[in-house]
Structure 1
């Protein structure tokens, strides 16, 4: 099997191209959280039922997660520039269709298309970073990506609150989608001019593993569906999908191994999981996102439903986390070259400490002053989050061959989406169950946040175990790292000192 070696573009256009990628990534990730505060507006202005509202949120998460790995593989095979621009165009058109939707059913359909397009854009960004940058520059680029991930997730409620406050509740929900249009059009135009036409690294003989896509898609769907519908589907029958998901994913694993034995190109190169940096990093990412994204879900509900905050005030209350996350991620992109996995351990500790501070502040300052009381712990947690997401992404992908970067980025982000869905289901169940039975909302939010801290502590244990293992048994370079694969990686073997 022959490959074409990638040549990093030598001029500053790489950083402008990165800005295009990050802009598209920002609006696609923003749409995972901005819609939450617009649900009451949808109910009033569109007559959306509770079930329709649920699918507006969960349908996007589902199709986003389902598209990631196949889209990453398509980018590996046919060019990431082409896949990125196509996904961005569909996302922008779907956003316009969502804003113009004449009824709830149409809104759900367009939202599913929008999520699929977002899932096509996301893995191309990590793949393009791998292909355009190397060494310390690659770490810096992933640092900026980490800033976008943290800020877009946290700032969604604030952006939605501002739009609804400015336009009004009847039509405010439409502008939650219309806001993507000028950004999407500008990013597409800039992408046509700035995104480099880099060589396609996959061999031309490789074919797309359609049966693998069906197995993986069915498995991920069976895994995520009961999680994202946990509040809407009453009864325990939904959990029967979990063993179905296990069987489908096991079948996918067996099929991919068979593809490898027959010399065919698999959807996911299972050899990636022989890399400790990739496997541990993906697990850290999954468990961290299970705890991190749930904070905004239950905390926003608490502020609006219990304290009486408006959507705008609730969004402003998490602004310290968002701002600090951006600063922490930018710093993490520089420091990861020097400190490696230690930085992730420090970051996770900071997030756990910040959330514990929020729990204490909720107890000490009940009532409408709670937003001010939690500002400092939110700031600490945000810095920790920035020091976690960005360095962990860098360390996870550092030894991945560039020709598999799209699929690897898809696997990593699929874990993030599954983790987010699972965390919201678990933390939400704790919060709502205590709220229903005990009736004390302060205790309910404290227990919900404590559950989130527990999930983050699992990620911390994994990161510490990986750090200790690296001191005892440093991860050896694979034979390919300095041979053919080293060429494909554009020097990925020297990207970061990921052990100490």
Structure 2
């Protein structure tokens, strides 16, 4: 069954396949993707429970959050390249099995060190699995169907990030404050086990994959890229824990390492060695502008939930469940509009994303106004409508951008391209949380929780507006390109007339 699906699902060079099994295979991908992305945000509301259950120091709590994001981001591009070379189904299943086992280790943790190490492994497993999803969508679907499939994936991205605090709150409410955090991880075990069985049966093989030697996977390129991404992310994810400005020297080191990586990858291309990242992808305007736009957007997008959860739980003394419910309107909006965005993206293109970004920025501005006008515990209800508007806009950003950014990417590079796109998301998340958190905590030292939250939202909105500028630049460049093409065609037509 899997082999038959793989033969019929190569889909990028011709019309979309007619085999209905591809939709079931997509369902497996989406459930696994939901599980890995959920663990980015679900732990936020579990931190007080983890602290009580394991007597965890603040520094280890930060690593429970940031360690997952760090290793997740490190593995994305090499994981995508490995899937392209070795086979996406095999790498998907390896990542899923490792993620499930790491989740069990997290839930069984008897010390904070145990939990941090398990979270690092869990993040790496998520980074191995995640790029296979976008690559399999590229492989199994084409044309309008690809837009629909990415729309569903965008729904999963938006909902998983926003619904994490709610689901975590429900689990902690029913399992108890001291041990409830364990079920935040144990919930992955039955889902992972079922997905593994279905992945073996339904996912297609990769037609271009074969046996590869370690040197064929560009180990030096992987090392340079990993060291560069680590040096870039580390000062951001540890911004609150490492005092002083010395840590920002790592950003300079990251620039040098990434420059060395680009130089090495260029040499690989000239020597006809398959690089971990094909730099020719950045010749496509849709790809590099899409990566830049989503970096800016995720800097604003994920930081919203970080400071909102802090404000509601620590500032207004909401329970974990109440805080999760307050953020749910964003998840509902994102889930409702992501499918629509996936269906409309082929018709409207990048302007659809511009509309979505405007809605998100407007929703965040209104959220800050609502908190200012309705102080105290009523703020959670007052922010519901603005967060719903922001969520509706978010659904028109993530899925359509995924479709447009990968639209010109050859299927044999789909894994590394998808990994690059998601690395942009993870880098953006780290930068956004560090920048917004810095403003939030600095204001908290001088003001009450509400003004600190307002200032944090202003920074989040600024990142979203930066993404809007990038999207507008892409729209204008596309229009100029079409005008030049039309002008060239009009000039050439008289010459070809008899």
Which of 7, 10, 32 is residue 10 of structure 2 equivalent to? 7
**Which residue of structure 1 aligns with residue 357 of structure 2?**
348
- For residues 397 and 327 of structure 1, what CA distance do their matches in structure 2 show? 23
Which of 15, 25, 35 is residue 17 of structure 1 equivalent to? 25
Task: Give, in angstroms, the shift of residue 475 of structure 1.
Answer: 11
**Which residue of structure 1 aligns with residue 159 of structure 2?**
151
* SS of equivalent residue, structure 1 residue 169: coil
- For residues 467 and 203 of structure 1, what CA distance do their matches in structure 2 show? 42
Task: Give, in angstroms, the shift of residue 458 of structure 1.
Answer: 0.4
Task: Give, in angstroms, the shift of residue 102 of structure 1.
Answer: 1.8
- For residues 105 and 232 of structure 1, what CA distance do their matches in structure 2 show? 17
Unaligned runs of 5+ in 2: 1-6, 12-16, 486-498
* SS of equivalent residue, structure 2 residue 199: helix
Alignment of 1:159-238 (within 5 A): 159-200=167-208, 207-238=216-247
Task: Give, in angstroms, the shift of residue 10 of structure 1.
Answer: 3.0
- For residues 201 and 399 of structure 1, what CA distance do their matches in structure 2 show? 21
Alignment of 1:241-390 (within 5 A): 241-390=250-399
**Which residue of structure 2 aligns with residue 480 of structure 1?**
none
Which of 112, 115, 132 is residue 104 of structure 1 equivalent to? 112
Task: Give, in angstroms, the shift of residue 7 of structure 1.
Answer: 3.3
Cα separation, partners in 2 of 1:458 and 1:475, compared to 1, 3 Å = farther
Q: Is the 8 A contact 2:138 2:411 kept in 1?
A: yes
Cα separation, partners in 2 of 1:349 and 1:173, compared to 1, 3 Å = same
Q: Is the 8 A contact 2:45 2:165 kept in 1?
A: yes
**Which residue of structure 1 aligns with residue 493 of structure 2?**
none
Task: Give, in angstroms, the shift of residue 474 of structure 1.
Answer: 3.7
2:145 is the counterpart of 1:137 = yes
- For residues 18 and 124 of structure 2, what CA distance do their matches in structure 1 show? 33
- For residues 120 and 314 of structure 2, what CA distance do their matches in structure 1 show? 28
- For residues 172 and 211 of structure 2, what CA distance do their matches in structure 1 show? 49
Task: Give, in angstroms, the shift of residue 203 of structure 1.
Answer: 9.6
Alignment of 1:424-435 (within 5 A): 424-435=433-444
Task: Give, in angstroms, the shift of residue 204 of structure 1.
Answer: 6.6
Measured against aligned partners, the alpha-carbon deviations of 1:103-158 in whole angstroms (never above 9, x if no partner) come to 11111111111100000110000000000000000000000000000000011111
- For residues 136 and 204 of structure 2, what CA distance do their matches in structure 1 show? 9
- For residues 299 and 250 of structure 1, what CA distance do their matches in structure 2 show? 37
2:407 is the counterpart of 1:398 = yes
* SS of equivalent residue, structure 1 residue 266: coil
**Which residue of structure 1 aligns with residue 124 of structure 2?**
116
Which of 79, 100, 112 is residue 87 of structure 2 equivalent to? 79
Cα separation, partners in 2 of 1:56 and 1:476, compared to 1, 3 Å = farther
- For residues 296 and 302 of structure 1, what CA distance do their matches in structure 2 show? 10
- For residues 325 and 123 of structure 2, what CA distance do their matches in structure 1 show? 26
- For residues 25 and 475 of structure 1, what CA distance do their matches in structure 2 show? 40
Measured against aligned partners, the alpha-carbon deviations of 1:195-220 in whole angstroms (never above 9, x if no partner) come to 12341257979911000000000000
Structure 1 window deviating more from structure 2 (303-312 vs 18-27): it is 303-312
2:454 is the counterpart of 1:420 = no
Cα separation, partners in 2 of 1:47 and 1:29, compared to 1, 3 Å = same
Which of 441, 447, 454 is residue 449 of structure 2 equivalent to? 441
**Which residue of structure 2 aligns with residue 126 of structure 1?**
134
- For residues 80 and 227 of structure 2, what CA distance do their matches in structure 1 show? 17
Structure 1 window deviating more from structure 2 (199-208 vs 258-267): it is 199-208
2:51 is the counterpart of 1:48 = no
- For residues 342 and 355 of structure 1, what CA distance do their matches in structure 2 show? 20
- For residues 83 and 475 of structure 1, what CA distance do their matches in structure 2 show? 44
- For residues 426 and 444 of structure 1, what CA distance do their matches in structure 2 show? 13
- For residues 210 and 77 of structure 2, what CA distance do their matches in structure 1 show? 16
Measured against aligned partners, the alpha-carbon deviations of 1:25-64 in whole angstroms (never above 9, x if no partner) come to 0010000111111111111111211111111111101100
Q: Is the 8 A contact 1:94 1:111 kept in 2?
A: yes
Task: Give, in angstroms, the shift of residue 308 of structure 1.
Answer: 1.7
Q: Is the 8 A contact 1:76 1:202 kept in 2?
A: no
- For residues 260 and 341 of structure 1, what CA distance do their matches in structure 2 show? 31
- For residues 5 and 321 of structure 1, what CA distance do their matches in structure 2 show? 38
Q: Is the 8 A contact 2:350 2:471 kept in 1?
A: yes
Normalising by structure 1, we get a TM-score of 0.92
Aligned residues: 473
**Which residue of structure 1 aligns with residue 464 of structure 2?**
456
Task: Give, in angstroms, the shift of residue 444 of structure 1.
Answer: 1.1
**Which residue of structure 2 aligns with residue 95 of structure 1?**
103
Measured against aligned partners, the alpha-carbon deviations of 1:161-220 in whole angstroms (never above 9, x if no partner) come to 111111111111111100101111111111111112341257979911000000000000
Structure 1 window deviating more from structure 2 (315-324 vs 190-199): it is 190-199
Q: Is the 8 A contact 2:44 2:309 kept in 1?
A: no
